[in-house]
Amino acid sequence: MTLFDDDLGTGVEHQPGDDDPDLVRVRLVVAYDGSPYHGFAANPGVATVAGTLQRTIERVLRHPVELTGAGRTDRGVHAWGQVVSFDAPAAGLDLGALQRSINKLCGGTIVVREAAVAPPDFDARFSARSRTYRYTIVNRPVPDPFLAATSWWVDQPLDVAAMRLGCDPLIGEHDFSSFCRRPKDRMIGTEDDGDPGPSLVRRVIDARWDDEGDGVLRFTIEATAFCHQMVRSIVGTLVDVGLGRKRAGEVAGILRGRDRSLAGPVAPPQGLCLWRVTY
């Protein structure tokens, strides 16, 4: 997945002072290897990033916490700059000790890179102005075992110049229906019940391919929000362009068509990383 920001969190902003003046808002910047987890969002019965992190924080602080994340990633998707927030008692709070304890207990698959007290009105999800994702491709005849867990191996040569041209139509505000998986929850509206469902209009600030050398290609995209599988669908389509299966000029038409069948396949999850959240 792609990060789909619209269905994470309670939807209600809460400030520590609303109920208990002795609570402070804590902000963590978190990196994780998504390989062993069934996505970010808590899901009973399976291991998830948020579920594991929340249980670990509660174990260290010895009280329940309600965790809010900047966005939700699918199974197998990684993060370097995920942000979470929660409330904790100010008395005796040692953020350095909390960070060290979490990193030790999570065994390296989930790492707190930064820990700080945030303003009372900070919300990891609702305060975010944009999110940035990176997708890595290894474009060589032979795969790289040291990059396999964090990249998509494409053995056929890719036309990077054409893929860069295909990025241009994505910039700006558009309906990204062609690149998004439609929400299934009937409570928020689906195509099969006569309700068109939530808007899939998103504003993309930047989209580009960088050649890192030695066959490593990196796609970077920044947007105010993303819908389900949006980045992976865009990458799959642009790889089709790079392979000559589609022309760069077709991307604008695919976008205007608002039809998922017009786009390319969804790229594998392991190449995707939530790189940064901007506030």
Tens digits of residue pLDDT in 253-274:
999 999 999 999 999 999 999 9
Residue with more model confidence, 193 or 51: 51
Domains and CATH numbers, the chain: 5-118 (3.30.70.580), 130-278 (3.30.70.660)
pLDDT tens digits along 60-117: 999 999 999 999 999 999 999 999 999 999 999 999 999 999 999 998 999 999 999 9
- pLDDT beyond 60 at 250: yes
pLDDT tens digits along 140-186: 999 999 999 999 999 999 999 999 999 999 999 999 999 998 765 43
Instruction: Check if the beta carbon of residue 202 is closer than 8 Å to that of residue 230.
Output: yes
- Best CA proximity match to 111, nearest among 122, 120, 102, 119: 102
Give yes or no: 74 in active site: yes
Half-sphere exposure at residue 68, Cβ-oriented, CA atoms within 13 angstroms: 23
Instruction: Check if the beta carbon of residue 157 is closer than 8 Å to that of residue 139.
Output: yes
- Best CA proximity match to 278, nearest among 10, 64, 36, 82: 82
Q: If pLDDT is split at 50, 70 and 90, which confidence band does 194 have? A: very low
Pairing of strands 272-278, 78-89: parallel
**How many angstroms separate the CA atoms of 70 and 68, rounded?**
7
pLDDT > 90 fraction of the chain, expressed in percent and rounded: 85
Strands (E), 119-180: 130-138, 152-153, 172-175
Instruction: Check if the beta carbon of residue 32 is closer than 8 Å to that of residue 111.
Output: yes
**How many angstroms separate the CA atoms of 142 and 146, rounded?**
12
Instruction: Check if the beta carbon of residue 48 is closer than 8 Å to that of residue 131.
Output: no
- 17: amino acid identity, one letter: G
Q: If pLDDT is split at 50, 70 and 90, which confidence band does 190 have? A: very low
Q: What is the mean pLDDT of residues 17-29?
A: 82
What is the pTM (predicted TM-score) of this model?
0.88
**How many angstroms separate the CA atoms of 260 and 253, rounded?**
12
**How many angstroms separate the CA atoms of 241 and 238, rounded?**
5
- 99: amino acid identity, one letter: Q
Q: What is the mean pLDDT of residues 133-140?
A: 98
Q: Give 198: exposed, middle or buried? Use CB within 10 Å, 0-12, 13-18, 19+.
A: middle
Pairing of strands 110-118, 78-89: unpaired
pLDDT tens digits along 208-239: 999 999 999 999 999 999 999 999 999 999 99
Residue with more model confidence, 194 or 36: 36
Task: Exactly one of 33, 74, 87, 123 is catalytic; name it.
Answer: 74
- pLDDT beyond 80 at 191: no
Q: Give 207: exposed, middle or buried? Use CB within 10 Å, 0-12, 13-18, 19+.
A: buried
